[in-house]
């Protein structure tokens, strides 16, 4: 909770934490993550796995942990203005919050 409170004190606008949204849609973590990227690439065919990792800003190990554990944590936050936001994906809330806080260093 301390990390979330620290993030709140640093952000100039909102913070959203979503955990396992894919389960609401009866999706696997992998399908959900691929769809997150597909939404930004409408009309493109066969988006590569590398492109998914790049767009989600995750390493292959993090992606594998999310898929293997069927756990997707998404933190979206607005550090400086209500216009520009960051999205952090991980399978571990603590690690996700660490990555959020690292953007302020």
pLDDT in tens, 16-27: 999 999 999 999
pLDDT in tens, 26-42: 999 999 998 887 656 55
Residue 91 reports pLDDT greater than 90: yes
Domain positions in the chain are 2-102
Residue 73 near residue 99 (C-beta atoms within 8 A): no
- State the chain's mean pLDDT as an integer: 90
Q: Tell me the C-alpha distance between 42 and 26, whole Å.
A: 22
CA dist 38 to 29, 35, 42, 49, 81, Å? Answer: 14, 5, 6, 11, 26
pLDDT at position 70 is 98
pLDDT in tens, 59-81: 999 999 999 999 999 999 999 88
Burial class (CB in 10 A: 0-12, 13-18, 19+), 89: buried
Q: Tell me the C-alpha distance between 52 and 38, whole Å.
A: 9
């Amino acid at each position: 909770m301390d990390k979330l409170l620290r993030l709140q004190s640093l952000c100039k606008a909102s913070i959203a934490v979503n955990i396992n949204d894919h389960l609401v849609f009866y999706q696997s973590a992998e399908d959900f993550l691929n769809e997150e990227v597909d939404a930004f690439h409408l009309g493109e065919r066969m988006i590569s796995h590398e492109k998914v990792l790049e767009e989600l800003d995750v390493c292959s190990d993090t992606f594998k942990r999310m898929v293997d554990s069927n756990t997707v944590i998404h933190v979206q936050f607005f550090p400086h203005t209500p216009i520009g936001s960051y999205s952090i994906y991980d399978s571990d809330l603590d690690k996700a919050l660490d990555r959020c806080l690292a953007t302020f260093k």
